[in-house]
Amino acid sequence: MEKNLIARRIADRIHIFDTLFYYNLTHRARESKAQTQNNEPYVLSDRCYNRVKKYTKGTNIFEKDFIIIPINKNGHWFAAVICYPSRDEFIEVIGKYPKRSCICFMDSTQSAHSRCGLAAPLRHFLAKEWESKKTTKKNFSESSMPEMYLKLPKQINDFDCGLYVLQNIENFLINPDYLIERICKDPAINLGVWFSFSSVSSMRRTIKRLIERKSKN
């Protein structure tokens, strides 16, 4: 379905995780009896990574420019976008727009600002994934990959967060390189008029048509 909502010209540059990825990455499962009995040290971030490493089997996310992660917290959906994860520096001028490594949070209630530690699991994942794919170590700290909490159109009810996630992602991917350049120059940039509520309503109708079309195939 997402292929119908994203500009084709950048489809090869993105990777989208499913809706369970962040939960599996952050959920604290109970230790197995074997781990408890052996009393062996086991780092939490390693255990979390082991639960999600299958998601990238056969895929090198560091060949992508944008990694999209849907997140659900307390019944509310929002999204994180990891931008240019393979860049070695915060600013690296390549082509028309500078490539700036960062993690953008897109939340239609702006409540992500008050949630601590959202990016930490993603940084752990990137470090372990880099080590797995590249067999070297790389630092994904906040100094090299800052967090950006975007000021976006706010939802006007308590149930359209999923639609806003899709609309935010679609708008983000229209011209992401230029947008990241603007955001990094001014992290407080106001994107509140990015789209209207009518666009969200239209998104609902689009999804309905896609579901109906898929059910007929």
Q: Residue 68 is part of a domain; what is its CATH number?
A: 3.30.310.130
Q: Does 35 map to a domain?
A: no
CA distances from 179 to 70, 184, 190 (A): 20, 9, 12
Q: Is residue 61 within 8 Å of residue 15, measured between CB atoms?
A: yes
Dihedral sign of CA atoms 209, 13, 82, 123 in order: positive
How many whole angstroms separate alpha carbon 26 and alpha carbon 52? 10
Residue 198 lies in a domain: yes
Query: Using CA atoms, how far apart are residues 129 and 105, in angstroms rounded to an integer?
Result: 21
Give the domain extent around 89. Answer: 2-23+60-216
Q: Is residue 106 part of a domain?
A: yes
Task: Give the pLDDT confidence of 121-177 residue by residue, as tens digits.
Answer: 999 999 999 999 999 999 999 988 999 999 999 998 888 999 999 999 999 999 999
Q: Calculate the average pLDDT of the chain.
A: 84
Residue 171: which H helix or E strand, with range? Answer: helix 161-172
- Domain assignment present for 93: yes
Weakest mean pLDDT among 29-33, 56-60, 125-129: 29-33
C-alpha distances in angstroms, 8 versus 1, 46, 149, 157, 176? 13, 35, 26, 31, 13
Flag whether pLDDT at 191 surpasses 70.
yes
Residue 184, in any domain of the structure: yes
Full-model pTM: 0.85
Q: What are phi and psi of 171, to 5 degrees?
A: -65, -40
- d(CA 169, CA 180) in angstroms, rounded, equals 13
Distant-in-sequence, close-in-space partners of 95: CB < 8 Å, separation ≥ 6: 177
Q: What is the tally of structural domains in the chain?
A: 1
Would residue 65 count as lying in a domain? Answer: yes
Does any domain span residue 211? yes
> Which residue bears the tokens 């299958």?
54
Which range is least confidently modeled, 87-91, 169-173, 209-213?
87-91
Q: What is the DSSP letter of 154?
A: P
39 part of a folded domain: no
pLDDT of 92 above 60: no
Terminal Cα distance for the chain, rounded: 14
